[in-house]
Amino acid sequence: MEMGILGLPQSGKSTLFEIMTGVKSGQSHEAVVRGQASVPDERFEKLVEIYKPVKVSPAKVPFSDVHAVGDHPWEAIRQNLSGADGILHVIDGFSLPDVSLSLDAYHKLEDELVLSDLLIIEKKLERLAKMSRKAVSPQEAAQNDLLPKLKDCLEAGKPLRAAGLTPAEVFILRSFSFWTIKPELVVVNVAEDNLSFAESFTREANLPEPVLGICCKIEAELTGLDAAEQKEFLDSMGIAEPAFGRIIRTAFSLLGRISFFTVGEDEVKAWVIPVDTKAPKAAGAIHNDFERGFIKAEVMSYEDFTAHGGSAARVKSAGRLRLEGKEYIVQDGDIINFRFNV
């Protein structure tokens, strides 16, 4: 699971990466810089407040900031972001005087991504056309049936996200490193005296992808303050929470992830799993032995836990502690203790 950050030069993408992860990137000569951002979660903070554990482990989202280096920058970007599961596209909304110019900047990079995917499809179709039927594998035959539809989509200037692909079709295409099939989050980096610019961009662009605004200059100042100073600063600006927190949470959701909690005085931890994960596989996120020897999952929802005064004993007394089996699909915010035997 990783979110790759893309953006034209001077868009503020490296600054945003540094704000979210705390890892310096802007002056790096590396082709790609990686870091992890903690997912802001009021539920997790409340559990930490209740248990006062020795160790706290919030959910995290890996981000990568790719720099266009060398004689073939796009090839370098593709190679270093081929493993990314989603794209965070940063737009310059602070130095350009008009929304239309920011839209042009957005489309310039998006068109490059569409063209890159189109070239991959054309090369694959050309290769398949030269192969004999006997030499074509069943998977390649399935791809050959699907690729013309994708080619039409890209030639119309649309990303593959707009092609209406089924999960089965996406699975068939898993061997390709398509850019535009990945979920995308658009972030508009605005000036501190024009915070409404992001709203104007969102209206004008009318994108199906989520769009969020941030002023990286303000957010960078926030990271240097303690919690009390941050709150005072945000209150003075009329802002409920730092924008980078919303960006991290949205990226986490776009990647199709949720978290469940294990709690105790030693540690409170948020475990990251894909949506629709069954209990044994979720147990495996903790340790392979938990999955292999899975018996039952003792589950209480975060809502039940807090509604009963943050007491597991009260949840149990109220009959709200559940024993779930192998077919249980773990829900976001579940507090779980796994029973297993190896």
Grouped pLDDT means (10 residues each) for the chain, 342 residues:
89 92 79 91 96 96 81 68 88 88 90 91 87 77 89 94 91 88 94 88 91 91 84 80 92 96 96 96 95 95 95 94 96 96 85
**pLDDT at residue number 68:** 65
Query: Considering only CA atoms, which of 80, 94, 33 is closest in space to residue 218?
Result: 94
Render 279-318 in DSSP notation, one character per residue: HHHHHHHH-HHHHHTEEEEEEEEHHHHHHTTT-HHHHHHT
**pLDDT at residue number 235:** 83
Domains, in order of start, for the chain: 1-41+59-94+183-257 (3.40.50.300), 112-179 (1.10.150.300), 276-340 (3.10.20.30)
**pLDDT at residue number 73:** 62
Cβ 117 vs Cβ 184: under 8 Å: no
- Helix (H) and strand (E) counts for the chain? 14, 12
**pLDDT at residue number 28:** 66
What is the rounded radius of gyration, in angstroms, for the C-alpha atoms of the chain? 23
Q: Is 124 exposed, middle or buried (0-12, 13-18, 19+ CB in 10 A)?
A: middle
Phi, psi of 255 (to 5 degrees): -80, 0
Residue 182 CA to residue 195 CA, distance in Å, equals: 28
Residue 342 CA to residue 293 CA, distance in Å, equals: 5
